[in-house]
Amino acid sequence: RKHRKVGDEIKCRVLRVEARRIELTSKKSLVKAARVLTTYEDASENCGKSFAGFVTGADAARGLVVTFFGNVQGRVDPASLRARGIVDPSQSFALGTVVTCCVKGVTTPKTRQDGTSRKPRIALTLDDVDGCKVEVDSVLKAVAVELVEARAKGASKRAPRKAVACLCRVTSSKGECLAKLPVAHACDHGLDAESTLRRLASTGESFECRVLEGSSDGAPAKISAAPSMINATTGKLELDAIRTGVVVQLKPYGAFVSFGGQERGLIPRALVADRYIGDLEDCFRVGDIVRCAVDSIEGDRVVLRTRGVPRDETGAFGRSVLRSLSGNDALRVGFAYDALVASNDDGVRFSQINGIECRGLAPLKHSLTCSEGDVVKIRLMGFRKDQTLCSMVPDVVRPGRTKRRAKASQVLTEGASI
């Protein structure tokens, strides 16, 4: 009655619709929210994303109960609140307070004995973005606070949860705030991204990160911990400029690359390499860090290419991948080393390469007869998943091959018969 009178026009949003009543809200944060949560199905499909809701319950034992549109409710665990220094949420949050929460996961409880179903449970975590001011492209220090896990879309309830993001506490000259580290930006190599994210969340160690997006519409800032993104050049996308981005989507006709913020581009399949590419998954995986050049700009459409662009000028990408596989970046692809045989079933497996603890494999076509404990000569050919690929074939391993290959490449010119 102090703020409204009959006949006033107000901006509002529908909270829920019942048989004979419509509930509205005029809270500015809820009315202006760009993304709303209306059903439990939306929550399960948007794990790792943030939504605005209002507090309807606060208790030190049960945590914080947050209600969204359509009477969808979720709960913030007390342990998550204690990690932020909140012991008694009833003292920190009044009923009706608007908060922004990130969806950690959705679980469906068993049906009751009478056959009636129970409401799904949404696990939430606070985003704490109020007053968060970080500059885009700035390099800061961050500490992981909480891991966000979710099942793959369409997976069964028994399928294991995968790490999709990590909430981190970022320290800047303007104070501390919460930011989100997606799994795709945990490291340079997509295959090792989830394990790196879990390690950062479990150890709580400080790490460097680059701010990709600032906080907006209640969503936290977005950061990257991948070395290639931290050391990448920044600025406006210009013709022929070489930029480092992350693969966010694969389509039959090309790969979409994001550079942070609203900057995105498409690498058509014809501009990926100098050879025919039948399946883009042979070259890219969602979450991979790529260096690409801007081929053309037509309005809002940015066409990129990786053809003719050196993937790694300084070798930092290859070293980071080998470091994740062996814990050491002294090994080089294409060089010959001594390796310790661990087993010889389904190829030859190695436990050490050049005295370094490393998981290695020589496939059947590239292996020779040997016994466990033997020290053999191998050549490091590449990597696959969590192990390095090696060859024991004498023609590949024997000295001089590198010099012969370099000499042969000098006479290979465009149009030459080979």
pLDDT in tens, 123-151: 888 765 444 567 777 888 888 887 888 77
**Which tokens in the block code for residue 242?**
């070489």
Spell out the alpha helix ranges (H) of 165-315.
Answer: 193-203, 227-230
Of 131-145, 267-281, 400-414, the one with minimum mean pLDDT is 400-414
Sorting pLDDT into bands at 50, 70 and 90, what band is 341?
Answer: very high
Q: Cβ contacts of residue 249 below 8 Å, gap of 6+?
A: 255, 256, 286
Provide the CA 411 distance to its chain's centre, in angstroms: 43
If one compares 248 and 73, the residue with the highest pLDDT of the two is 73
**Among 102-111, 190-199, 231-240, which is the least confidently predicted range?**
231-240
pLDDT more than 70, % of the chain: 80
- Would you say residue 403 has pLDDT above 70? no
Report the C-alpha gap between 167 and 79 in whole angstroms: 14
E strand spans, 108-241: 121-126, 139-150, 162-172, 175-182, 206-213, 221-224
| pLDDT over 50 at 161, yes or no | yes
Contact in structure between 199 and 324 (CB atoms under 8 Å) = no
pLDDT of residue 85: 63
Q: What is the pLDDT of residues 357-385, one digit of tens each?
A: 888 888 888 888 898 999 999 988 776 65
Write out pLDDT tens, residues 18-56. 888 898 888 888 888 878 888 888 888 887 778 889 999
Tell me the mean pLDDT in the region 69-89: 80
Q: 90-94, 149-153, 207-211: which has the minimum mean pLDDT?
A: 149-153
